[in-house]
Amino acid sequence: MNKDTRLSGVLHVLLHLGQVSVPLTSEVLATTMGTNPAIFRRTMAGLREAGHVHSGKGHGGGWLLARPLREITLLDVYLALGRPTLFAFGNRSDNPGCKVEQAVNDALGDTMAEAEALFVERFGAITLDQLMPSRASALAVHQHAHD
């Protein structure tokens, strides 16, 4: 199963955007995420709708932060991406009348709900400025492939 790397990729892009005052194009930022511009724009749509980024079209257009990094939490980004699945497993429902299956599903469901609540709580407490490397120069936007 492929892992959903959108959260990590978008955080990478947002930290880069936090270091610039001019719009960066979808082409440049898509390279940073290792994807193509169309997929990049689709991925960023939820962040734009949530008011975390602005985008402009045409000459001089591109992407900018709409809010400072200190005002955006990991939870904000997670929610703007549509709450990507946290767990790669789910409950079976082949035999809904089976008491054993019900017990297993209840235990797994309760545990996953508790883990998600902890995840959401911790993500709500971390702002993007807290993720910044100590040396801002480490965030120079690369026009080409990353190191």
For residue 63, tell me if it sits in a domain: yes
Could you give the number of structural domains in the chain? Answer: 1
Is residue 5 within 8 Å of residue 40, measured between CB atoms? no
For residue 100, tell me if it sits in a domain: yes
For residue 72, tell me if it sits in a domain: yes
- Average pLDDT of the chain to the nearest whole number: 88
Residue 145 has pLDDT above 90, yes or no: no
For residue 1, tell me if it sits in a domain: no
Let me know if 76 is exposed, middle or buried by CB neighbors in 10 A (0-12, 13-18, 19+). Answer: buried
Q: What is the CATH number of the domain that holds 77?
A: 1.10.10.10
For residue 57, tell me if it sits in a domain: yes
**E strands present in the chain:** 53-56, 62-65
Give the distance from CA 12 to its chain's centroid: 9
Looking at residue 135, its pLDDT comes to: 57
pTM of the model: 0.82
For residue 126, tell me if it sits in a domain: yes
Residue 146 has pLDDT above 90, yes or no: no
Task: Using alpha carbons only, give the angle 11, 137, 71 rounded to the nearest 5 degrees.
Answer: 40
**Tens digits of residue pLDDT in 50-91:** 999 999 998 888 999 999 999 999 999 999 999 988 877 778
Query: Which of residues 92 and 127 earns the better pLDDT score?
Result: 127
Nearest CA among 55, 54, 52 for reference residue 71: 52
For residue 103, tell me if it sits in a domain: yes
For residue 115, tell me if it sits in a domain: yes
Q: How far is residue 8's CA from residue 115's CA, in Å, rounded to a whole number?
A: 19
The domain of 16 spans 6-139
Is residue 42 within 8 Å of residue 33, measured between CB atoms? no
Query: Which of residues 48 and 4 earns the better pLDDT score?
Result: 48
